[in-house]
Amino acid sequence: MSESATYDATACVSPAPARSGRRGTRPSRGSRTRPGSQAPRLAAELGPSDPGAPRSRLAVAIDDLAAVDIDALSDAELRQHLADLRQPLARLTALRASWSASLESRIIAGAPPQQRGAAQREGRLAFADEHQLTPSEAKRAVEAGKAARQHPETGQAFLAGDLSPEHVRVIDEVLGAVDAEHRELLEPQLLDLARGRHAVRFGRDARALLASFSPEDAAEAGKRKLARRRVRATDTADGGFAFSGLLYGTAAETARVALDAFTRPDVAGEHRTPEQRAADGFEQLCAAALRTDAAPSQHGARPQVLVVMDAEQLAHHEHRDGTGTARFARSGQPVTSTELGPLLDDCQLIRIVLDAERTPIEVSEAVRTVPVGLWRALLVRDGGCTWPGCDAPAAWCDVAHGHTPFARDGRLAPDNAALLCRRHHRRFDNGPWRIEVRGGQVSYQRTGRGVRNRSP
């Protein structure tokens, strides 16, 4: 893991895209029913069918709303105004989804067979650009529009502003798992279930309904969804490690439980966003995974975060309070020894001697910067992270050097070291803190300086 890794995982549930291949039983019902049943409603909302007129009437209505002096409204009135926006916004979102799906069908039908995939992609990108949507938002909108056409009752509820595109995709996923007869029974139940539930909760309840209705179909649907599992990871130009992904079933639950287990609440004085808490939890999870014997070995060695630092830079680090520079071996990313603090305090050092052509000519045995005896002593004394309020167990902890850097004869001894979890080790290293060990009790005192200070 890079020190500056970024975190953007979505390891959970996502509604299904439309499965157009499974729609053979009612191929034309949606497209035939929708225009007739929706036309009066749309006309009432937007005006006559003159292409110029709907937009102008809509624009006038929005201008009227924008002209409301909200400073003159009471809180209750403002709340009511806000609530009144919900349905028109939902209806317009549904309309956009429905129209974009129709346009896409026409684009595909008008393209030569071998170019239909490319025409669909181009059409979606143009739609995304025009509406300032991300490609995945555009995809979800078009898919919801298509699904709404496949299931007329759902389509009507969608256009009435009762469902979000995500709700429609969930309904499509569940209805796509059963045969036509069951579909007619299930659809009204799903529409009932969707009321007053946000999409994630609705998705969970809708799949539970499917499982009770037809366990076999639910199992098949779960299996099909597994094919969409993915994790994407990439290095970013600013030195980060970005990743996103999607897991289902047991894999999703395993990831939820593991991330939860390593994500800790803030202690006093700590103010992290939920995303930062999850990022810290994820780093700790990865660090713990690399520490176990279960990590697969490569060339007989367990995978570890390797840092390459030349002797001169290491001396800088040891003698001048962390001014050395280094690079991570796996990614080649440069890193300062200040950022490396927690790793350099508690690591194995391997000396590699290079010749003039930078060919390794001698490799020393690994030397631990923290002797086993000291680790055991701290394990007994501290038991886990010593930061006030933190309950991270010892297995997550590094040994943090105390107030005397070892290069200044700061011999690593129990009175000059303590166990800290990764995030508190970093906080300690980068803050104005000093360790005090008295009678087996570790405490942290502010030095009054605003920067890293580990000098006596």
Give the burial string for 320-358 (b: 16+ CB within 10 Å, else e).
Answer: ebbebbbebeeeebebebbbbbbbbbbbeeeeeeeeeee
Q: Residue 398 has which token pair?
A: 């590094």
The Cα–Cα gap between 390 and 394 comes to 11
Nearest CB to Zn ion, comparing residues 131 and 291: 291
Examine residue 387 and tell whether it contacts Zn ion (CB under 5 A): yes
Of 164-172, 372-380, 392-400, 443-451: span binding Zn ion (CB under 5 A): 392-400
Q: Residue 71 has which token pair?
A: 């400073």
DSSP code, position 456: -
The Cα–Cα gap between 385 and 399 comes to 10
Q: Report, in Å, the least distance between residue 392 CB and Zn ion.
A: 4
Q: Report, in Å, the least distance between residue 291 CB and Zn ion.
A: 16
Give the burial string for 86-102 (b: 16+ CB within 10 Å, else e).
Answer: eeeebbebbbbbbebbb
Nearest CB to Zn ion, comparing residues 387 and 433: 387
Task: Extract the runs of DSSP E, i.e. beta strands, from 302-432.
Answer: 307-308, 325-328, 334-336, 348-349, 352-354, 360-363, 367-368, 397-401, 417-421
Q: Report, in Å, the least distance between residue 271 CB and Zn ion.
A: 15
Q: Report, in Å, the least distance between residue 376 CB and Zn ion.
A: 20
Q: Report, in Å, the least distance between residue 418 CB and Zn ion.
A: 11
Nearest CB to Zn ion, comparing residues 158 and 387: 387
Nearest CB to Zn ion, comparing residues 3 and 382: 382
Of 99-107, 154-162, 340-348, 381-389: span binding Zn ion (CB under 5 A): 381-389
Q: Report, in Å, the least distance between residue 424 CB and Zn ion.
A: 4
Nearest CB to Zn ion, comparing residues 11 and 421: 421
Q: Is the separation of the CB atoms in 148 and 154 below 8 Å?
A: yes
Of 103-111, 172-180, 372-380, 415-423: span binding Zn ion (CB under 5 A): 415-423
Of 160-168, 247-255, 324-332, 388-396: span binding Zn ion (CB under 5 A): 388-396
Residue 171 class from Cβ within 10 Å (0-12 exposed, 13-18 middle, 19+ buried)?
buried
Judged by CB under 5 A, the number of residues near Zn ion is: 6
x/- string (CB under 5 A) for Zn ion, residues 327-366? ----------------------------------------
Q: Which of residues 437-456 bind Zn ion (CB under 5 A)?
A: none
Of 12-20, 193-201, 337-345, 378-386: span binding Zn ion (CB under 5 A): 378-386
Nearest CB to Zn ion, comparing residues 280 and 321: 280
Nearest CB to Zn ion, comparing residues 218 and 392: 392
Q: Is the separation of the CB atoms in 414 and 374 below 8 Å?
A: yes
Nearest CB to Zn ion, comparing residues 272 and 316: 272
Tell me if residue 393 falls in helix, strand or coil: strand
Q: Is the separation of the CB atoms in 124 and 142 below 8 Å?
A: yes
Nearest CB to Zn ion, comparing residues 248 and 387: 387
Q: Report, in Å, the least distance between residue 390 CB and Zn ion.
A: 3
Q: Is the separation of the CB atoms in 2 and 274 below 8 Å?
A: no
Of 24-32, 35-43, 150-158, 420-428: span binding Zn ion (CB under 5 A): 420-428
Q: Report, in Å, the least distance between residue 397 CB and Zn ion.
A: 8
Q: What is the dihedral of CA 342, 348, 349, 355, to 10 degrees?
A: -120
Length of the chain (residues):
456
Q: Report, in Å, the least distance between residue 135 CB and Zn ion.
A: 40
The Cα–Cα gap between 233 and 219 comes to 30
Examine residue 424 and tell whether it contacts Zn ion (CB under 5 A): yes
Nearest CB to Zn ion, comparing residues 95 and 400: 400
Examine residue 385 and tell whether it contacts Zn ion (CB under 5 A): yes
Of 107-115, 166-174, 318-326, 422-430: span binding Zn ion (CB under 5 A): 422-430
Query: Quick one: which of 341, 347, 455 has its CA closest to 409?
Result: 455
Angle at which helix 165-175 crosses helix 199-213, to 10 degrees, equals: 10
With CB under 5 A as the contact rule, the residue among 307, 421, 435, 437 that binds Zn ion is: 421
Q: Report, in Å, the least distance between residue 382 CB and Zn ion.
A: 11
Identity of residue 93: T
Distance between alpha carbon 366 and the CA centroid of its chain, in Å? 37
Of 171-179, 242-250, 389-397, 411-419: span binding Zn ion (CB under 5 A): 389-397
Task: Extract the runs of DSSP E, i.e. beta strands, from 259-318.
Answer: 307-308
Q: Report, in Å, the least distance between residue 157 CB and Zn ion.
A: 49
By CB under 5 A, name the binding residues for Zn ion: 385, 387, 390, 392, 421, 424
